[in-house]
C-alpha cells in the first residue's frame, strides 16, 4: 500500500518485527548442476524456518528492472522505489558515512585528465591512487563560495563527494561529465529556474578547483554528476507508528535506513557484533533492520562457491535471529546477485515471513524454486512492510 | 481494468454472469490438523465445480490490508476499493436498509453519557437498550433545521444514523467523538470551506438534540462520526452494458449493490428464498450478484466447526447455482475470515470461474492451497468483473 494509506491504517502495538536483508540473496541455477547458490548451500536452519513460515518471491522494482542498493532497500522499507528516488550524489555521500543534512546539495565527483585545450583525455584520471585523491580533496576544501560551505570528501581512487551546505540550494542541475573523451566538460546548467543560484555556485566551485589542481600530471580536472538534495520523505517511525532501528556493518545501508528515519546504530564490526548490538537494544525499537552483506559481495565477484559459503554463514545466524523472540521475522533480499552474472539482476528474490500467528505453507526449503510455490506468490517488495505489519497486528481494517 | 477502459471495451451480448459471494470465504489452516475450514469441510459439489473451472486467489484490496465489507464487495463489482471509498455514515445507513438519496449527508451516531460539566463518562451510554434508542430517535426526528430535513434512524443498542436531506450539503466534516472519555465532545468542524454550512447545521442539530435528551439517565448526549454523502459513482449497468440484479438476505450487501447501480431485489428471507428470487427473475438481468452470509458470521464468532458447516451448507446450493444455466458462474469471497482470527483478514481468497467456454486448470478441489496453484494465480479482486465479462464474450478487443 502507499505511504498515505499506511499512515491511515497503522496502529500501535507492542509487537516486534525483524527484517533481515541478505544482500543479493537470489541467484540462478548453475548450467551444469542446475542448482542455484541457495540450492547448493547446506542451510538446515533456513529450511526449517521456511517450513515454519509463509514464503514467496519479492519483485524488487518491476519486471526486468535491476535495482541498485538504494531502490532494493527502500522497497523493503515500504517505499515505492519508483516514487522515492535517491540521487547519486546523496547515495555516494551515504556510502562514506557522511552526515548529510536536510539542506545539503551533494554531487558525485571524479578527477579526470584534461589536455592543454581543456578536453578530457581520461575520464578517471588513470584511476589515480586514493592517497592522491585524499590530498587533492584537502586542497579543494579550502575553496570559499559566497553564502555556502564547501565540503569535499574523498571516496576511493579518482572518486570524491562534493557537498554544498547552506540555505536555498536546489537540485535540478545537469552533469559536467559528457561520458566521452576529446571534448571539454560542459558547465553545470540549471534545469529549473529555482536552481540557477546552485548552478552558479557549482560552476564557481569548478573554476576555483581547476586552478588549484591545474599542475597535477593526471588529476588536473574534475567532473561532477548526480547533483541531489537530501530527500525530505515521510519518515517510517511516524508513518508506521513503529520505533525503527538499523543494524548494518556498511555505511550505505545505514545511510538508506537514515533516509527513512530509522535510528541508526554505529556501524563497522562484524555481522555477529551487529546482531549483538540489535539484541542489546531490543527494548528500544519495534522494527529492526538487520543487514547481511557477504552474499552480494561474493555474487558480484562472480564466485559461485563463495556465495554458497556466504549463505551457509548466514544460515548459522538463523537460530540467533529466531531466539530474538520477534513476533514477525522476515528473511528477504534487496535484489538477486547471481554469481553467473557477477552483478545485480532483475530476478525476483526468495522471501519468508515467520510469525507468532503460526501461518505456514507447504514450502519446506528456502530456495528460489521452492519459494516460487509459496503462499505469498510473487509480489512487489514494497508490500513487505504492509504484510509484516498485518502479521504483527499493527494495521487497522480498511473501510467498514 | 479501470472503469473508463471497461466502459470503452464493454459490448452487449445475451450471455449471463452469476457472481456468488461467499462472505468471509477464506481461512487459515488449523495449527493441529493443518487443514483450513474449506479443507476440513466436505464440499463435493464445490470440488467438482473447481475441477470444471479455472481457479485462483483474489487479493481484495492490497497486501496486508484487511477489508471491511464495503471495499471487499466493491472490488468484486469491478470498482477499485482504494479509489471508490464509502463513508461510514453511508455504510451504516445501507446496513439498516435506509433509502439514501443522492443529496443526503449521513453520519453514524452513538448515544453517550455526559456528566454535569458536559464531559463524556461513557461513549456508549452503557450500551442502552435498542428500545430506548428507538424512543429517543423518535424524539430527535422532531428537530427542525433551516432548509434541510432531519432524519434520525435507530440501529442497535446505542447506535443510530443521522441523515440530513436537502440541497448543497457537503461532506468533509470532523467527528465529534473524541474517542476517549473525561473530555466534552468537540463541535463539528468543516475541513473544507464548502462544508461550512453543513458543519453549522450539524452543530445546530447537536444543540437541539442535547436539549431534548438532557434528562435521560444514561443517553443524555450524542456523538457523530463518519459524515459522508451518498457517492456519485459510475454505474455498473451503464459502464458494463449489463442489467445487474442483487439478491441478498442482509441490507448491507443490498446497499452496496445499490451504490453501483444494481437493481436490488427485496431482502430478508433465507439463502434459498433469495436463490429462488434470482431464478424467478432470470430474464430480467445479465449480471446476478448472489450473497451468502453464514461463513463470515461463523468466522467472526471464531467458530471453526460452524464455519465448516456453513461452507457445507453452501455446497448444497452449488448444484442449484449450476442449474441456473449461466454462461459464467463465479464463486468468490469479499475477504477471508479465518475462524482463528475471529475477524476479517488480509489473506487472499479462493476463487473459481466456470464458463461455457469450458476452460479448466489442474485444480480439482476448492481450497486455499489448491486455488493458489490455479491458472489465474493471485490477482486483484477488482479484476474479477473484467475476467467474467471476457469469458462471457462481453469485452471487445483492445487496439487493432
Residue A126 lies in a domain: yes
Determine contact: A379 vs chain B, CB below 8 A.
yes
Residues A208 and A304 in one domain: no
Phi, psi (deg, nearest 5) at residue A105: -115, 120
Neighbours of A250 (CB within 10 A): 17
A58: CATH: 3.40.720.10
Quick one: pLDDT band at residue A398, thresholds 50, 70, 90? very high
Q: Are B145 and B203 in contact (CB under 8 A)?
A: no
Taking residues A130-154, report their average pLDDT.
Answer: 95
Instruction: Report whether pLDDT(A211) > 80.
Output: yes
Residue-level pLDDT at B87: 87
Say if B254 is an interface residue toward chain A (CB within 8 Å). no
What pTM value is reported for the model?
Answer: 0.89
Residue A396 lies in a domain: no
At residue A97, does pLDDT exceed 90? no
B64, A400: Cβ pair inside 8 Å?
Answer: no
Residue A135 placed within a domain: yes
Same domain, A145 and A126: yes
Say if residue B110 is in the same domain as residue B159: yes
Same structural domain, B16 and B98: no
Task: Give the pLDDT band (50/70/90) at residue A95.
Answer: confident
CB pair distance less than 8 Å for B81 and A9: no
β-pairing, B328-332 vs B17-22, is parallel
As a whole number, mean pLDDT of residues B286-303 equals 96
pLDDT of the residue at A251: 86
Kindly state whether residue A146 falls inside one of the protein's structural domains.
yes
Residues on chain A touching B368 (C-beta within 8 angstroms):
375
Decide if B377 and A373 are in contact by the 8 Å CB cutoff: no
User: Which residues in chain A touch residue B86, judged by CB atoms under 8 angstroms apart?
Assistant: 399-400
Q: Do A386 and B63 touch (CB under 8 A)?
A: yes
**pLDDT at site A380:** 97
Q: What's chain A look like in SS3? A: CCHHHHHHHECCCCCCEEEEEECCEECCCCCCCCCCHHHHCCCHHHHHHHHCCEEEEEECCCCCCCCCHHHHHHHHCCCCCCCCCCCHHHHHHHHCCCCCCCCCEEEEEEEEEECCCCCEEECCHHHCCHHHHHHHHHHHCCCCECCEEEEEEECCCCEEEEEEECCCCCCCECCCCCCCCCCCCCCCCECCHHHHHHHHHHHHHHHHHHHHHCCCCCCCEEEEEEEEECCCCCCHHHHHCCCEEEECCCHHHHHHHHHCCCEECCCCCCHHHHHHHHHHCHHHCCEEEEEECHHHHHHHCCCHHHHHHHHHHHHHHHHHHHHCCCCEEEEECCCECCCCCCCCECCCEEEEEEECCCCCCCCCCCCHHHHCCCCCCEEEHHHHHHHHHHHCCCECCECC
- pLDDT the model gives residue A319: 98
* For testing contact with chain A, the best of B28, B33, B64 (most A CBs within 10 A): B64
B156, pLDDT greater than 80: yes
% of chain A surpassing 90 pLDDT: 92
Helix (H) or strand (E) holding B328: strand B328-332
Of the pLDDT bands very low, low, confident and very high (cuts 50, 70, 90), residue B298 is: very high
Chain B: residue nearest A397 by CA?
B66
Our CA-based measurement puts residue A387 at a distance from the nearest CA of chain B, in whole angstroms, of 4
A92/B114: higher pLDDT: B114
Q: Is the pLDDT of residue B27 over 90?
A: yes
Lookup result for grid cell 558547465: A187
Do residues B378 and B325 both lie within one domain? yes
How many A-B residue pairs are in contact by the CB < 8 A criterion?
Answer: 78
pLDDT given for residue A102 in this prediction = 87
Tell whether B66 is within 8 A of chain A (Cβ): yes
In degrees rounded to 5, what are phi and psi of residue B380?
Answer: -65, 135
Contact B64 A397 (CB under 8 A): no
The reply to whether A11 touches chain B by the CB within 8 Å rule is: no
Tell me which residue of A94, A92, A96, A136 sits closest to A112, measured CA to CA.
A136
Nearest to B64 among A1, A359, A399 (CB): A1
- The rounded percent of chain A whose pLDDT value lies above 70 is 100
B372 and B300 within one domain: yes
pLDDT band at B319, cuts 50/70/90? very high
Residue A252 confidence (pLDDT): 87
How far the first Cα of chain B sits from its last, in Å, is 18
Tell me what the mean pLDDT of segment A223-247 comes to. 95
Q: Are residues B370 and B245 in the same domain?
A: yes
In this predicted structure, the answer to whether residue A400 has a pLDDT above a threshold of 80 is no
CATH of the domain at B154: 3.30.70
Q: Does A277 touch chain B (CB under 8 A)?
A: no
Q: Mean pLDDT throughout A99-122?
A: 94
Q: Does the beta-carbon distance from B68 to A359 stay under 8 Å?
A: no
List the single residue in B with minimal CA-CA distance to A398: B67
What local confidence, expressed as pLDDT, does residue A267 receive?
85
Classify residue B76: in a domain, yes or no. Answer: yes
Residues B205 and B287 in one domain: no
- Average pLDDT over chain A reads 95
pLDDT at residue B102 is higher than 90: no
Q: Do A243 and A383 share a domain, yes or no?
A: yes
The string of pLDDT tens digits covering residues B194-241 is: 999 999 999 999 999 999 999 999 999 999 999 999 998 999 999 999
Residues B114 and B156 in one domain: yes
Query: Average pLDDT of chain B?
Result: 95
CB contacts of B31 in chain A (<8 Å) are 358
* CA–CA distances in Å: residue B79 to residues B1, B76, B103: 9, 7, 22
The predicted pLDDT at position B267 comes to 86
Residue A399, chain B, CB below 8 Å: the answer is yes
Interatomic CA distance for residues A342 and A329, integer angstroms: 29
B28 and A362 in contact by Cβ < 8 A? no
Domain limit, last residue, from A229, A252, A282? A229
Which residue range is the domain that position A214 belongs to? 91-229
Q: Is the pLDDT of residue A156 over 90?
A: no
pLDDT for res B357 = 94
CB contact under 8 A, A395 and B346: yes
pLDDT of residue B306: 97
Inter-chain touch B65–A1, beta carbons under 8 Å = yes
A1 in B contact zone (CB under 8 Å): yes
In a domain, B303, yes or no: yes
Q: Would you place residue A186 in the very low, low, confident or very high pLDDT band (cuts 50, 70, 90)?
A: very high
Of B28, B67, B372, the CB nearest to A398: B67
Mean pLDDT (whole number) for B8-33: 96
**Grid coordinates given for A95:** 556510502
Q: Is any Cβ of chain A less than 8 angstroms from the Cβ of B378?
A: yes
Tens digits of per-residue pLDDT, A272-309?
Answer: 999 999 999 999 999 999 999 999 999 999 999 999 99
Q: Is there a domain that residue A400 lies in?
A: no
Within an 8 Å CB–CB cutoff, is residue A33 touching chain B?
no
A257 with A369, same domain: the answer is yes
Last residue within a domain, chosen from B183, B205, B229: B229
Is A400 in contact with B31 (Cβ distance < 8 A)?
no
Q: Is residue A36 part of a domain?
A: yes
Compute the residue count for chain A.
400
Q: What is the mean pLDDT of residues B285-290?
A: 98
Q: Which of B229, B248, B275 is where one domain is finished? A: B229
Q: Is A214 in the same domain as A345?
A: no
| Number of compact structural domains in chain A | 2
Q: What is the ipTM of this complex?
A: 0.88
Amino acid at each position: 500500500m502507499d505511504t498515505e494509506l499506511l499512515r491511515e491504517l497503522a496502529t500501535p502495538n507492542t509487537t516486534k518485527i525483524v527484517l533481515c536483508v541478505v544482500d543479493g540473496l537470489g541467484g540462478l541455477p548453475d548450467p551444469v548442476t542446475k542448482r542455484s547458490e541457495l540450492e547448493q548451500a547446506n542451510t538446515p536452519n533456513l529450511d526449517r524456518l521456511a517450513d515454519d513460515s509463509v514464503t514467496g518471491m519479492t519483485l524488487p522494482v518491476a519486471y526486468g528492472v535491476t535495482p541498485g542498493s538504494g531502490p532494493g532497500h527502500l522497497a523493503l522499507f515500504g517505499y515505492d522505489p519508483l516514487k522515492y528516488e535517491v540521487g547519486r550524489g546523496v547515495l555516494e555521500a551515504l556510502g562514506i558515512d557522511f552526515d548529510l543534512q536536510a539542506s545539503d546539495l551533494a554531487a558525485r565527483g571524479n578527477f579526470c585528465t584534461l589536455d592543454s585545450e581543456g578536453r578530457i583525455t581520461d575520464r578517471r584520471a588513470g584511476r589515480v591512487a586514493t592517497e592522491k585523491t585524499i590530498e587533492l580533496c584537502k586542497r579543494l576544501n579550502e575553496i570559499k563560495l559566497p553564502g555556502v560551505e564547501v565540503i569535499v570528501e574523498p571516496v576511493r581512487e579518482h572518486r570524491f563527494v562534493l557537498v554544498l551546505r547552506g540555505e536555498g540550494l536546489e537540485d535540478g542541475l545537469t552533469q559536467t561529465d559528457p561520458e566521452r573523451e576529446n571534448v571539454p566538460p560542459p558547465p553545470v546548467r540549471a534545469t529549473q529556474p529555482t536552481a540557477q543560484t546552485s548552478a552558479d555556485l557549482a560552476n564557481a566551485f569548478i573554476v576555483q578547483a581547476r586552478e588549484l589542481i591545474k599542475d597535477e600530471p593526471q588529476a588536473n580536472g574534475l567532473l561532477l554528476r548526480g547533483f541531489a538534495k537530501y530527500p525530505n520523505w515521510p519518515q517510517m517511525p511516524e508513518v508506521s507508528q513503529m520505533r525503527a532501528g538499523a543494524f548494518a556493518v556498511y555505511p550505505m545501508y545505514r545511510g538508506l535506513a537514515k533516509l527513512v528515519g530509522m535510528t541508526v546504530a554505529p556501524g563497522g564490526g562484524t555481522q555477529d557484533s551487529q546482531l549483538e548490538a540489535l539484541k542489546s537494544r531490543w527494548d528500544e525499537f519495534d522494527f529492526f533492520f538487520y543487514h547481511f552483506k557477504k552474499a552480494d559481495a561474493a555474487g558480484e565477484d562472480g564466485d559461485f562457491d563463495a556465495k554458497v559459503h556466504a549463505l551457509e554463514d548466514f544460515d548459522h545466524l538463523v537460530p540467533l535471529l529466531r531466539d530474538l523472540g520477534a513476533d514477525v521475522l522476515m528473511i528477504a533480499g534487496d535484489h538477486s546477485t547471481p554469481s553467473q552474472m557477477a552483478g545485480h539482476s532483475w530476478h525476483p528474490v526468495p522471501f519468508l515471513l515467520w510469525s507468532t500467528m503460526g501461518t505456514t505453507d507447504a514450502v519446506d526449503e528456502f530456495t528460489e524454486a521452492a519459494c516460487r510455490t509459496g503462499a505469498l506468490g510473487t509480489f512487489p517488495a514494497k508490500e513487505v512492510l504492509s504484510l509484516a505489519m498485518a502479521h504483527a497486528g499493527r494495521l487497522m481494517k480498511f473501510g467498514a
